[in-house]
C-alpha cells in the first residue's frame, strides 16, 4: 500500500474503558493486523466500542466513521481474544462490508501469548473459520509475549 489510509477501530464494549495503548502501539510499530500498512501513512479517524451485545453501535459508528473518511475498519483484538470471543464478528463484518462497502480487518495488535495459550487449551480457535479470523493478529512468540 502506498499513500495514506484512514482507519476506524471498534473495540468490544467489555473493554470500553481501554485507552487503546496496545492498538496504538501496534499501529506505530506496524505489528499484528497493522503490519499490512508497512510504508503507508495511517490515520485513525474513529475509535469506539460496539456498545455491548448485540453491537448496537456498529451501524451508527461506522456511518459516522465513513463520513469522516474511514476506508478500513479494524475490529480490535479484544473482540477476538475475549472470553468468550465476540459471537457476532462475522455478522458485523458482513453487515459493514455490504452496507458501507468498507473493508473489515479482524484485529489490531498481536494476540498476547497468555490469550493464545488459554484459547489453545479451550479449543476456541480450532475450526477453519477461526484460523482465518486470528491470522492477521498472529505473531511470533517473542512479539506475543511483549503484548501480555
DSSP for 85-120, written as a single string: PPTTHHHHHHHHHHHH--EEEE-SSPPPHHHHHHHH
Give the angle subtended at the CA of 96 by the CAs of 59 and 50, to the nearest 5°. Answer: 45
- Residue among 109, 116, 131 nearest 15 (CA): 109
Average pLDDT over residues 95-101: 98
Cα separations in angstroms, 24 against 51, 56, 66, 119, 128: 21, 24, 20, 24, 29
Assess whether pLDDT exceeds 90 at residue 1. no
Specify the CATH number for the domain of residue 85: 3.40.50
Q: How far apart are CA 6 and CA 4, in angstroms?
A: 7
Assess whether pLDDT exceeds 70 at residue 53. yes
Question: What's the pLDDT score for residue 89?
Answer: 96
Domain holding 81, by residue range, is 4-146
Diameter of the chain measured on Cα atoms: 42
**DSSP code of residue 82:** S
Number of structural domains found in the chain: 1
How would you classify the pairing of strands 72-75 and 41-49?
A: unpaired
Q: pLDDT-derived band of residue 139, with 50, 70 and 90 as boundaries?
A: very high
Residue 75 three-state SS: strand
Assess whether pLDDT exceeds 90 at residue 3. no
Spell 127-145 as b/e; 16+ CB within 10 A means b.
eeebeebbebbebeeebbe
Kindly report the average pLDDT of the chain as a whole number: 96
Q: pLDDT-derived band of residue 65, with 50, 70 and 90 as boundaries?
A: very high
Q: How far apart are CA 14 and CA 113, in angstroms?
A: 20
**H or E stretch covering 7:** strand 4-11
User: What are the pLDDT digits (tens) for 16-43?
Assistant: 999 999 999 999 999 999 999 999 999 9
Assess whether pLDDT exceeds 80 at residue 70. yes
Assess whether pLDDT exceeds 70 at residue 2. no
Amino acid at each position: 500500500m502506498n499513500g495514506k489510509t484512514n482507519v476506524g477501530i471498534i473495540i468490544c464494549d467489555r473493554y470500553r474503558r481501554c485507552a487503546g495503548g496496545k492498538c496504538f502501539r501496534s499501529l506505530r510499530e506496524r505489528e499484528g493486523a497493522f503490519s499490512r500498512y508497512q510504508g503507508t501513512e495511517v490515520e485513525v479517524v474513529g475509535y469506539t466500542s460496539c456498545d455491548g451485545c448485540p453491537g448496537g453501535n456498529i451501524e451508527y459508528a461506522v456511518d459516522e466513521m465513513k463520513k469522516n473518511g474511514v476506508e478500513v475498519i479494524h475490529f480490535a483484538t479484544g473482540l477476538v481474544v475475549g472470553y468468550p470471543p465476540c459471537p457476532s464478528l462475522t455478522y458485523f463484518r458482513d453487515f459493514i462490508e455490504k452496507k458501507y462497502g468498507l473493508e473489515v480487518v479482524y484485529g489490531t495488535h498481536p494476540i498476547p501469548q497468555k490469550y493464545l495459550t488459554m484459547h489453545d487449551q479451550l479449543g476456541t480457535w480450532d475450526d477453519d473459520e477461526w484460523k482465518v479470523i486470528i491470522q492477521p493478529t498472529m505473531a511470533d512468540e517473542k512479539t506475543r509475549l511483549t503484548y501480555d
